[in-house]
A and B are shown apart, each in its own frame.
Chain A
Amino acid sequence: MSAHDLAVASAAALVLAGAAGTALARSATRLVLSLGAFLLGVALCFLALGSPLLAAAQVFVYIGGVLVLVLFALMVVGRGDGESPRVESRHDAGAALVALGLFVVLAIVTPKGPSAVAPPEMVSPAAVADVLLGSGIVAFELAGVLLLAALLAVLVIVKGGGER
């Protein structure tokens, strides 16, 4: 097993462990830590797949931004009595069956990618910029509009309207 294979396997294990913790944790603190592990695993997967730009964006935007926001929201919303807030669940067999069936279907039908043992060629940020500002310009502009809309939506939600 090469070093690249080991890195891919470690990233995959971190993704799975983080996802399991996020889905099953009872304590809000554990949920946030598990979500952080999952997001870090996703960043490592990006790196292992040859996309350092995406890995850096994942770390800065998610681990540095969204995860902190989730933590703040949990601290505001949590109903704990001085301890870590609880995140309740209603586990049932039907939901587990749906998730298991989805896992089997996805594992079978989704493309597996190359099975090469060699690490993939790194995708440079310049190549990504070429695509985004070339054939992907419409999607790029729409993403900008979406961010602006999200910013305005948050302002309206938090400040607008007042008490009714």
Chain B
Amino acid sequence: MILTVACAGAFALGVYAVLVRREIIGILAGAELMLGAAAVQLLVAGSEGFAAGASSFALILLVVAAAEAVVGLALIVTAYRRAKRSRIEEFGEVSG
């Protein structure tokens, strides 16, 4: 119960960070919050009779989150090296 509430809180704080942060790296940290909270919640939900399966899928979720973080950081560093831009407003040309 307490872990579910903590996960919900961490996920909501991740969404808040994605919405309000101006630096892209802060947005990426918010995404990490959401993925971490989802992994713990997956384990909580599967802890009654499906623990091994839940652990397996949480492990795959960790792999996905790590790949996302590495590609995101590479994009951030490359964008800064090439154009000296790191804030979300400075990428206006990719907006819809």
Contacts A/B (CB < 8 Å), 12 sampled? A9-B2, A15-B10, A15-B37, A22-B30, A23-B20, A38-B32, A51-B51, A99-B13, A100-B12, A107-B5, A110-B45, A143-B63
Top 3 nearest A-B pairs by Cβ distance? A103-B12, A106-B8, A12-B6
Distance (whole angstroms) from the CB of A38 to the closest CB of chain B: 6
* A residues adjacent to B (C-beta < 8 A): 8-9, 11-13, 15-16, 18-20, 22-23, 28, 31, 35, 38-39, 42, 45-46, 48-51, 53-54, 57-58, 61-62, 65-66, 69-70, 72-74, 76-77, 79, 87-92, 95-96, 98-100, 102-103, 106-107, 110-115, 120-121, 123, 127-128, 130-132, 135-136, 139-140, 143, 146-147, 149-150, 153-154, 157-158, 163
Q: Which residues of A have CB within 8 Å of B21?
A: 87-89
Partner of A77, one of B57, B70, B80: B80
Residue with the greatest number of chain A CB neighbours at <10 A, chosen from B13, B78, B82? B13
Interface mask (B4-41 → A, CB under 8 Å = 1, otherwise 0): 11111111111111011111011011101100110111
Q: Are A66 and B32 in contact (CB under 8 A)?
A: yes
Chain B interface residue count, Cβ-Cβ cutoff 8 angstroms? 68
Measured CB to CB, the nearest residue on chain A to B19 is A95
Q: Are A19 and B13 in contact (CB under 8 A)?
A: yes
Within 8 A of A (CB), among B43-96: 43-45, 47-48, 51-53, 55-60, 62-64, 66-71, 73-78, 80-82, 86-87
